[in-house]
Amino acid sequence: MSNEKSQPDNPIKTRGHRFEVGGGKVMCAGKSHWPDFMRLEIPRAQAMTFALDILRQLEKPPFAEADPFVSVPVFGSLERVTEDDSTS
């Protein structure tokens, strides 16, 4: 799912992506494989705030225990990495 939004006074186009942790898992030869890999690189000074933002999502009403997902918006930039980068 990707969409682009641009406003006249903002020259930057924002592309929206949805990443489901553990989504798309495929078993092959007894091993787990996923179609995508994402590594969040958070500056150390912002890491605690980011972690607390995730925890606050659990406190937001109405919190339905039956809802399997917690949604946390993350703004930044995506950069394609090589296969070597994704395994380290």
User: 9-49, pLDDT tens digit by residue?
Assistant: 777 777 787 878 878 888 899 988 888 888 888 999 999 99
Asked whether residue 67 carries a pLDDT value surpassing 50, the answer given is yes
Nearest to 70 by CA among 18, 1, 14: 18
Nearest to 79 by CA among 28, 17, 1: 17
pLDDT for res 37:
81
- Summarize the confidence of residues 56-81 as an average pLDDT: 76
Task: Give SS3 for 30.
Answer: coil
Q: What are phi and psi of 62, to 5 degrees?
A: -85, 120
pLDDT bucket at 51, cuts 50 / 70 / 90: very high
